[in-house]
Amino acid sequence: TIGQGRDKTKTYLKENPEVLAEIDQKVRDKVKEEEK
């Protein structure tokens, strides 16, 4: 079902902040590109 593993993902990102930072940066870069 949709949302399955959401808690696991949240836990993983809390335990791996560098992964979260990398995802965050990629999302921000993509948003900046689309604003141009």
CA-to-CA dists, residue 24 to 1, 2, 3, 14, 33, angstroms: 25, 22, 20, 13, 14
- Say which residue, 34 or 3, is predicted with more confidence: 34
pLDDT tens digits, 3-22: 779 999 999 999 999 999 99
**Residue 1 belongs to some domain of the structure:** no
Who wins on pLDDT, 1 or 18? 18
Using CB atoms within 10 Å of the CB of residue 32, give its burial: 0 to 12 exposed, 13 to 18 middle, 19+ buried: exposed
Q: Is the predicted pLDDT of residue 31 greater than 90, yes or no?
A: yes
Give the structural domain span for 14.
6-35
pLDDT bracket for residue 30 (50, 70, 90): very high
Q: Count up the domains in the chain and report the number.
A: 1
In a domain, 18, yes or no: yes
Statement: the pTM of the whole predicted model exceeds 0.85: no
Q: Give one DSSP letter per residue of the chain, joined into a string.
A: -TTTTHHHHHHHHHH-HHHHHHHHHHHHHHHHHHH-
